[in-house]
Chains A and B, each alone.
Chain A
Amino acid sequence: MDFLKKLQNVDRRIIYLLFVLALAIPLIRPIGIPLQISPATRAVYNIIESLDPATDVVLLSFEYAPGSGIDIHAIPVTVVEHLMKRGLRWVGVSFSPEGPLMMNMIIDDLESRGYKYGEDFVNLGYMAGEENAIRLFSLDTSVFTTDSRGNSVASLPIMQGISTVKDFAFVHGFTSSDLGIAGWLRQAVDPLGIDYAVGVVTVSVPSATPYYNSGQLKGLLGGLRGAAEYELLIETPGLGASMMDAQSMGHLLILGFILLGNLSYLFGKKK
Chain B
Amino acid sequence: MKLVAGNIFGFWMFLVVAIFTLVLINYSKSGKINITLRKIAGLEAIEESIGRATEMGKPIHFSPGLGDIIGATAAETFAALEVLSYVTRMSAKYNAELVVTIRQPNVFPLAQESVKQQYMAAGKSDMFKEDTVRFLSNQQVAYTTGVVGFMHREKVAANIMAGLYMGEALLLAEAGAQIGAIQVAITASMTQLPFFVAACDYTIIGEELFAAGAYLSQDRIKLGGIAAQDYIKLAVMATAVAGALLMSSGSNFLNRLLVK
Q: Do A and B touch directly, given a CB cutoff of 8 Å in the complex?
A: yes
A: residues with CB less than 8 A from B are 12, 65-68, 129-132, 176-179, 182-183, 186, 190-191, 201, 203-204, 206-207
Of the candidates B71, B190, B192, the one whose C-beta lies within 8 Å of that of A131 is: B71
**CA–CA, A204 and B169, complex, Å:** 13
Of the candidates B71, B141, B178, B190, the one whose C-beta lies within 8 Å of that of A130 is: B71
Tally the A-B contacts, defined by beta carbons under 8 Å.
Answer: 41
Q: Which chain B residues in 196-232 approach chain A with CB under 8 Å? A: none
Given A67-B141, A191-B6, A207-B191, A177–B166 Cβ distance below 8 Å?
yes
Of the candidates B4, B71, B178, B192, the one whose C-beta lies within 8 Å of that of A132 is: B71
**Cβ–Cβ contact A130 & B70, under 8 A:** yes
Chain B residues with CB below 8 A from A68, complex form: 167
**Chain A nearest Cβ from B175, distance in angstroms:** 12
Is B1 engaged at the interface, CB distance under 8 Å to the other chain? no
5 more A-B residue pairs beyond the given contacts A131-B72, A179-B72, A204-B191, with a C-beta to C-beta distance below 8 A = A65-B141, A129-B70, A130-B71, A130-B72, A132-B71
Binding site of B, secondary structure by majority: helix, strand, loop or mixed?
loop
Chain B residues with CB below 8 A from A207, complex form: 190-191
Among residues of B, the one whose C-beta sits closest to the C-beta of A192 is: B6
Q: What would be 17 A-B contacts, judged by CB atoms less than 8 Å apart?
A: A67-B140, A67-B141, A130-B68, A130-B70, A130-B71, A132-B71, A176-B166, A178-B72, A179-B72, A190-B6, A191-B4, A191-B6, A203-B167, A203-B191, A203-B192, A206-B191, A207-B190
Residue among B139, B166, B178, B191 with the highest chain A CB neighbour number at 10 A: B191
**Cβ–Cβ contact B72 & A132, under 8 A:** no
Q: Which chain B residues in 144-190 approach chain A with CB under 8 Å? A: 166-167, 178, 190
Chain B residues with CB below 8 A from A129, complex form: 70
**Chain A nearest Cβ from B96, distance in angstroms:** 29
**CA–CA, A122 and B173, complex, Å:** 40
Given A65-B139, A65-B141, A182-B72, A201–B190 Cβ distance below 8 Å?
no
Q: Which chain B residues in 67-87 approach chain A with CB under 8 Å? A: 68, 70-73
Chain B residues with CB below 8 A from A130, complex form: 68, 70-72
**CA–CA, A210 and B140, complex, Å:** 26
**Chain A nearest Cβ from B49, distance in angstroms:** 23
Among residues of A, the one whose C-beta sits closest to the C-beta of B4 is: A191
